[in-house]
Amino acid sequence: MDRADAGQNPSPAGVSGGFWVPVALAGVILMTTLGIRQTVGLFVHPIVAETSMGIASVSMALAIGQLMWGVFQPFYGAWADKKGPFPALATGAALLACGQICTIWGTSFLPLTVAQGLLSPAGAAAGSFPLLIGIVAARLPADKRSLSGGLINAGGSLGQFAFAPVVQSLISLFHYSAGLLFLAFASLASILPAWLLCRPRKAAAPAVPSRHDPGSGLRQRLRLALRTPSYLFLHAGFFTCGFHVAFLTTHLPGEVSLCGHTASVSATSLSIIGLCNIAGSVFAGIAGKYWPMKYILAALYAFRALLIAVFLLCPKNELTFYLFAVGTGLTWLATVPPTAGIVGKLFGTRYLATLFGLTLLSHQIGGFLGAWFGGLALQHSGNLLWVWHLDIALALFAAAINLPIREEREAEC
């Protein structure tokens, strides 16, 4: 890691001078925030059943949350890059807990939008990929960053696997408010690993601008990034990833219900996705050490398109949903390590949290459309067929747009 990347970040020694401790702590935080975010679909139908809102209104509130989660990412990244990550992580945990509690009283569109469209995403954005991967990547040599990103991402997947059945059980046995209170408590509990991850260490060497670097400040890096075609191609591909993930997170339980299956099939499918994404994320992280990351991304997106096409042709029994969940899980968030890795290759790790946060904004613009379009389709068509077809087209587009990416640091050309 060059000194230009060091900035205010700690030295590669990291927490306790090792690789596994910071990776594990970051994984626990991401496990909590993603476990909360990616079980939100389990609350959709209980909220619709107990309030005067229709599916389109609830979907719109959640779609706004998808968008705002992306909007807050670069702001938290910039805050952490300048002031340190712990205040951002602690504030996020508190806001995320408030969002879950306020959802209990979200019986109409406006309060639900405040809870799940503003507070919850504002909190979850702090303990997300850009900030956590940025913290750990800045402490590691370049050859370990891809693997660390995959392992942190796997921790997030474990949250989805663990949280979905617990939340569904609480909803079934008690009330959906019990599930929300559990998620609020889990969010506050994440403050402890955040403090351990961000404990003061020996000061790093001061940043020295690289002789190739047009400017070492955040503003200069942003200008450079927005003039870099490969960075913009990465945004376009990640936009389609957000559409896919948010569409399934929000509306896979609805698809299961449309096919006549119980809510337990939804919870099991979401758990399988989370479990299999552990393997997919670790594989993507390891593969990034040996193959160009743009080819890994292209392959992941192309596989998604094929998987959805096969799913649409198959009978919609329980086994089909579980097999679809396996395939979906292998690609679910496996796109994150190579995407973060390419950003790090192009611009270094000094402002990785901010620059990767901007790609997450593109991801969540796609997420907003995925969640919203699914609700519109159910409201007006009674099924999700045209959104499935759109998802296939976008996945093919993403596979193609990643191929022209140049992974060498264009800033030094």
User: Could you tell me which CATH class the domain 11-199+219-412 is placed in?
Assistant: mainly alpha
Averaged pLDDT in 10-residue chunks for the chain of 413 residues: 41 51 85 83 81 80 82 80 83 91 86 89 83 76 70 75 82 86 91 84 44 57 86 92 86 84 82 83 81 91 95 92 92 84 80 80 86 83 89 94 80 40
Query: Tokens 């399988």 correspond to what residue?
Result: 272
Give the helix ranges, DSSP H, for 259-351: 263-287, 293-313, 318-331, 336-347
Looking at this protein, which amino acid is placed at residue 332?
W
Query: Tokens 């700690």 correspond to what residue?
Result: 10
Q: How many angstroms from the chain centroid is the CA of residue 281?
A: 12
253, 336, 165, 314 alpha-carbon torsion, rounded to 10°: 40
Cα angle 166, 168, 171 (rounded to 5 degrees) comes to 110
- Look up residue 240 and give its two tokens: 């389609």
Q: How many angstroms from the chain centroid is the CA of residue 309?
A: 24
**CA distance linking residue 82 with residue 237, whole number of Å:** 29
pLDDT of residue 142: 66
Residues 6+ apart with CB under 8 A from 237: 297, 301, 335, 339, 398, 399, 401, 402
pLDDT of residue 413: 36
Domain boundaries, the chain: 11-199+219-412
Alpha-carbon distances of 171 from 179, 209, 268, rounded to whole Å: 6, 54, 14
pLDDT of residue 210: 40
pLDDT of residue 216: 59
- Look up residue 348 and give its two tokens: 């270094």
How much is the pTM?
0.73
pLDDT of residue 340: 82
Alpha-carbon distances of 392 from 26, 66, 325, rounded to whole Å: 32, 20, 16
